[in-house]
Structure 1
């Protein structure tokens, strides 16, 4: 049961369509809760549930699914097996675990307490602050600098906030003459597998990715991890950083922050992360903006929408008013996406994000 492909379609009468045994149901929390509340027969079928698995629980909570998960758990039989998998254990996870698991549950640590320490010790960590309008240039400049720094062995993994931004940034860097691969939810699964294998086995490569590459994958010999924009949590920052400096090898990480995102650095206190001077824009800034302007309008518009959606949830952290958000969104469209005019947005989208 997923948002885009409704594999579970109720009958015309709104009934649960399967009369036989259902061995396995895989769902996103929001869609499952929607069916529990609106599909006749499904709540009764769930009373026979034997095993509940919550995978990537910390990611589900970051995605805003806490209330949905709590509502789903309340509908399930208390006598069941429950497995919860999570790469990190932030405080907000403890409440969900308290609901999902019985007292005396077993915790299995597959990483070890010293793993984060080892990562921090072997990875040089830097941050760079830039004006919003130089976001794309900062990414390009860091990639170019690393290629020059390690001309025979560079292997760069750059994380971007959304799949759309990953897609757009890949197109811009290609326009700038760089050989770049992309990895995100919009890439078909078979192509993702090919990209992963190519990047895993090769050197002198650049991969732009959403958080699908932040965990559960092992790419050896990454020389630099770039993080574009403030991660959602410090745990996400550490997870991404952990893609380099593996197996006892050294590595570097650079966090690229818009000037409005500097507040995130307060969450990284205690980590050995140091300031890195910004790159001189010179004439390359204009070249990057021109390259952005050559990217397809539809891709740019979708990236604009995705950026607004992401910022709606975080603008209070930056003390942005509604007007601040609109002004910065327009600046993003003109200077980062290279548009000559502000992309038009559908009325239903504007209403959904509360920007009427």
Structure 2
């Protein structure tokens, strides 16, 4: 009957994910499957689940209110809705099996009524609403005692969206003797911890994500580090020093947010006696071509760059890419990182963000990025950086401050709150050793929509 449903739903051939997971799931094992969205995984978990329900003894099905046999948990209403639609298609020839959708944003009382009038054996839910029913719908918790299969779909997104506690509560409310299937595009530590809580020890891990299909090179080790602004320069220096001491033939690119900030960082690193070149849109083309050629051909160099050289430039043997400040978007992050690990070489990349730029990690959460360990900063390093900053020209700091203000003002997350923006800009000013924020031309402030915001000086 299920196969008739599969044919009627228009499926002819199995996708790679279905081929890899179905046989194991049908054996009744717990499965952790690493699979991307859009690979046919919904059918991969629904088919066996429907099989389980259809094999239950009719006694279970004759009761006025059959127990819930399958629970599917999805991170968003849209995904839950899609899964329910898919389940209904596959159930075309199983008139006795029903699907109930419970999601936030709809009236709780309406869902309770539906569950009462025609109780379904398959429940598709978002975590918050499922927990709501467990706690507030009479008789619901009892019906969950019949669950044979629990499916957590897009587990990494469930956790990123903060549903960890809900999932733990749901797992605790279900019978121990059940099959658990977990599908996730990535398998970070948090997903592993949930496997530990929810699944049997002999679970099978099935990886259906093809090596090389990742958007970022698998041989590039990606890291991020959250640091306060006042420590950012010291941490950058520390990271570069560590990298140079471990790599004789080091070749590093440091990407900055704007041309003026690029200039500032290049000047600071030169004062710190590092071998630095800079490249950005404010430099004439002839100079840029010369620097680009030099960087291509040499080793033992650090190139401080704005996004001029993020796309498509092929510098061979880059060993390390540092991104300082939030990239404008996910694509830019990927392009910048793609300057290293080319042609089969290994490489590493680190993204340095302040606590208020941390939102960006959500955009790249499906990439294999991990948190780096904070480099140890001794007093000597901090003093060195402060001394070098004192030697950087004041006019360069002033230009960098204005450019910084412009860049973050046009960022839709950070530029929304102008008062907060100014307070952050002044923190940036202090981090350069300017206790008094530089004055900005009135016209520029007007253009940025920053007139009369306290904390700004105009000239």
TM-score by length of 2: 0.50
8 A contact 2:216–2:367 mirrored in 1: no
| Counterpart mapping for 1:196-235 below 5 A | 196-235=292-331
Correspondence for 1:266: 362
Q: Which runs of 5 or more residues in structure 1 are unaligned?
A: 1-112
Instruction: State the Cα RMSD in Å.
Output: 1.8
Correspondence for 1:341: 436
- 1:158 has 2:264 as partner: no
8 A contact 1:222–1:243 mirrored in 2: yes
8 A contact 2:414–2:421 mirrored in 1: no
| Counterpart mapping for 1:246-265 below 5 A | 246-265=342-361
| Partners of 2:243 and 2:213 in 1: CA distance | 24
Deviation track 1:266-295 (CA, whole Å, cap 9, x = no partner) reads 111111100002223332223213322221
Correspondence for 1:142: 239
| Partners of 2:213 and 2:385 in 1: CA distance | 36
**Misfit runs of 4+, over 3 Å:** 113-116
Deviation track 1:66-96 (CA, whole Å, cap 9, x = no partner) reads xxxxxxxxxxxxxxxxxxxxxxxxxxxxxxx
When Rg is computed on C-alpha atoms for both structures, the one with the higher figure is 2
| Partners of 2:241 and 2:233 in 1: CA distance | 12
8 A contact 1:330–1:342 mirrored in 2: yes
- Find the residue that maps to 1:231 and give its secondary structure: coil
8 A contact 1:199–1:219 mirrored in 2: yes
Correspondence for 2:387: 290
Q: From the superposition, tell whether residues 118 and 348 of structure 1 become closer, same or farther in structure 2 (CA, over 3 Å).
A: closer
| Counterpart mapping for 1:1-356 below 5 A | 117=214, 119-150=216-247, 152-283=248-379, 284-314=381-411, 316-318=412-414, 321-335=417-431, 337-356=432-451
Correspondence for 2:135: none
8 A contact 2:275–2:300 mirrored in 1: no
- Find the residue that maps to 2:221 and give its secondary structure: strand
| Partners of 2:232 and 2:449 in 1: CA distance | 25
Displacement, 1:319? 8.1
TM-score by length of 1: 0.65
Of 118-127 and 298-307, more deviation after overlay is shown by 118-127
- Find the residue that maps to 2:356 and give its secondary structure: helix
Q: From the superposition, tell whether residues 116 and 254 of structure 1 become closer, same or farther in structure 2 (CA, over 3 Å).
A: farther
More RCO (CA 8 Å, sep 6+): 1
| Partners of 2:437 and 2:349 in 1: CA distance | 34
Displacement, 1:320? 6.2
- Find the residue that maps to 1:124 and give its secondary structure: strand
- Find the residue that maps to 2:413 and give its secondary structure: helix
Of 338-347 and 251-260, more deviation after overlay is shown by 338-347
| Partners of 2:383 and 2:437 in 1: CA distance | 19
Q: Which runs of 5 or more residues in structure 2 are unaligned?
A: 1-209, 452-459
| Partners of 1:118 and 1:355 in 2: CA distance | 38
| Partners of 1:320 and 1:138 in 2: CA distance | 28
| Partners of 1:223 and 1:318 in 2: CA distance | 31
